[in-house]
Amino acid sequence: MAAELIKGKEVASTIRQRLKEETEALKTRGIVPGLTVLLVGDDPASLSYVKGKVKACGEVGLRSDLKRYPATIREEELLKEIQTCNEDDTVDGILVQLPLPKHIDERKVIEAISPEKDVDGFHPVSVGKMVIGEETFYSCTPAGIIEMVKSKNIDIAGKHVVIVGRSNIVGKPAGLLFLKENATVTYCHSKTVGLSNYTRQADILVVAVGRAGIIGKEDVKPGAVVIDVGVNRNAEGKLVGDVRFDEVKEVASYLTPVPGGVGPMTITMLLANTIKAAKNRRGI
Ligand code: NDP
């Protein structure tokens, strides 16, 4: 039987409706949550992601401010700009679009953002709090994945979740959030020997590698839930995931498509984090 698709667009639209209502309620109290996005350089992909984020803010009624800097900006200057945003009371969330030019140390930039405005959830304080199970900003893609699974009322507790990929922005935090939901979690990565032996044991398989078609039907246990985070361009220039969709659709119980799967959820969780920051900062 073909897998049921978990469509990120649909899940995102339900959550965005709720966020819109939350924003309207805050507005009646004179609060308009605001996100400031800092973009360095003019990489077309980054510009398109940033535009998507700014547009989404407008759709739920959040204020957004896009600050653009030339690719030649010095690290100290960028750090100063972040400091200005930290001190600006009208800014609730700060996001620095990655990647940054090579001469700028990404870690320094992330650490310069005030943890109370860290809506991307990349600051070591946010990550540390997530590890010890304290309330904080969760990084957006992993938080979106959890929402997608929950949207289908799939039980996570006690399930074996296998995560392929261990990046700081997707794989690692995704595993921690599933652990928080009482799953048993296995991480796989480029040094894993016999990847398929692990993926075939997964009740929920999350693939975040960035290699088109790395997971086929032989790597998936029949009935598993498969979340495809990967975004790749195939030889024809079409967007495809890490999972061979047509094959895996025949064995999985649920599957996320690419595009239209995890992507729309990532921005939605950013909006949610911005509203959360606005509330936290005012003790609401
Ligand atoms: P990274 O390149 O940072 O991490 C890739 C991970 O995959 C690494 O942990 C790497 O292992 C692992 N890996 C590489 N090759 C293999 C292999 N042959 N077998 C098993 N594991 C392997 O990527 P990201 O985490 O940033 O992103 C992953 C994918 O998700 C990309 O396609 C990206 O575009 C997409 N993405 C999509 C988002 C969305 O909103 N839809 C958001 C963010 C990312 P090792 O650590 O050993 O090198």
* pLDDT, block means (10 residues), the chain with 284 residues: 94 97 97 98 94 96 98 98 97 98 98 98 97 95 98 98 98 98 98 98 98 98 98 94 98 97 96 98 95
**φ, ψ for residue 68, nearest 5 deg:** -110, 140
Q: Are residues 156 and 248 in the same domain?
A: yes
> Are both 64 and 147 inside the same structural domain?
no
In a domain, 91, yes or no: yes
* Residue 160 belongs to some domain of the structure: yes
pLDDT by residue (tens digit) across 45-55?
Answer: 999 999 999 99
For residue range 124-143, what is the model confidence (pLDDT) as tens digits?
Answer: 999 999 999 999 999 999 99
The predicted structure's pLDDT at residue 19: 98
Residues 91 and 185 in one domain: no
Assess whether 86 and 144 both reside in one domain: no
Residues 86 and 152 occupy one common structural domain: no
pLDDT at 42: 94
At 87, which CATH number? 3.40.50.10860
Residues 83 and 152 in one domain: no
Answer yes or no: do 82 and 42 share one domain: yes
The reply to whether 20 falls in a domain is: no
Find out whether the beta carbon of 172 lies less than 6 Å from any atom of ligand 1. no
Nearest atom in ligand 1 to the alpha carbon of residue 267 is 40
The total of structural domains in the chain comes to 2
CA 136 to chain CA centroid, Å, is: 15
What is the distance in A from the centroid of ligand 1 to the CA of 262? 14
- Residue 232 within any structural domain of the chain: yes
Please tell me the predicted confidence (pLDDT) of residue 1.
Answer: 73
Residues 77 and 153 grouped into a single domain: no
The response to whether residue 225 sits with its C-beta less than 6 Å from ligand 1 reads no
What average pLDDT is seen over the chain? 97
Residue 10 located in a structural domain: no
Ligand 1 centre to CA of 146 (Å) is 18
Q: How far apart are CA 168 and CA 216, in angstroms?
A: 25
**Which atom, in ligand 1's list, is nearest to the CA of 241?**
32
Q: Hey, how many other C-beta atoms are within 10 angstroms of the C-beta on 66?
A: 16
**pLDDT value for 65:** 97
Same domain, 203 and 255: yes
Which amino acid residue places its CA nearest to atom 5 of ligand 1? 209
The model's pTM: 0.96
Claim to verify: residue 156 and residue 244 sit in the same structural domain = yes
Range of the domain at 170: 140-263
Say how far apart CA 56 and CA 119 lie, in whole Å.
15
Ligand 1 site, residue 139, Cβ cutoff 6 A: no
Q: What is the pLDDT of residue 160?
A: 98
Domain assignment of residue 219, yes or no: yes
Q: What is the CATH number of the domain that holds 200?
A: 3.40.50.720
Close Cβ partners of 124 (under 8 Å, ≥ 6 residues apart)? 110, 111
Q: Find out whether the beta carbon of 93 lies less than 6 Å from any atom of ligand 1.
A: no
Residues 108 and 151 in one domain: no
Closest CA to 256 of 121, 171, 147, 168: 147
**In a domain? residue 200:** yes
Asked whether residue 34 falls in the same domain as residue 103, the answer is: yes
Residue 44 falls within a domain, yes or no? yes
Q: Evaluate: CB of 229 within 6 angstroms of ligand 1.
A: yes
